């Protein structure tokens, strides 16, 4: 069995969040990003499955810009066998990201 673990890039939980002056969104300038702690737990559990012999391969995948590679490298340090990235074709908006998953799955379906 192959295990696919999604890794999400989020604002580091130790950072004090600032809101933009117009109250439209969170101000992300000069903010440290990190891997979602729950994704980290999922990666660790998938690696445990692999070590127990239940899983044959663990693939960590992230959706987002090139900057998300840092979180993918953090996930790989925990032990998955392969990384994968799904980059949205246009601006990284919350409406574009969900459409990236079907494209990634079609492109990688032969491996699953």
**Of residues 19 and 96, more confidently modeled:** 19
- pLDDT for position 93: 61
Do you know the residue count of the chain? Answer: 112
- pLDDT for position 90: 60
pLDDT digits (tens, 9 = 90+) for 78-101: 998 888 887 766 655 666 667 777
Distances (CA, A) of 76 to 21, 67, 70, 89, 109: 37, 15, 10, 24, 21
3-state helix/strand/coil string of the chain: CEEEEECCEEECCCCCCCECCCCCCECCCCCCEEECHHHHHHHHHHHHHHHHCCCCEEEEEEECCHHHHHHHHHHHCCCCCEEEEECCCCCCCCCCHHHHHHHHHHHHHHHC
Q: What percent of the chain has pLDDT over 90?
A: 43
């Amino acid at each position: 069995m192959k295990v696919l673990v999604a890794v999400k890039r989020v604002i580091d939980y130790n950072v004090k969040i600032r809101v933009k002056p117009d109250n439209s969104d969170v101000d992300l300038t000069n903010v440290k990003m990190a891997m979602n702690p729950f994704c980290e737990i999922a990666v660790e559990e998938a690696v445990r499955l692999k070590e127990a012999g239940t899983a044959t391969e663990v693939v960590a995948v992230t959706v987002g810009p090139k900057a998300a590679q840092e979180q993918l490298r953090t996930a790989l340090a925990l032990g998955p066998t392969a990384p994968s990235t799904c980059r949205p074709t246009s601006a990284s908006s919350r409406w574009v990201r969900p459409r990236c998953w079907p494209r990634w799955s079609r492109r990688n379906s032969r491996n699953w």
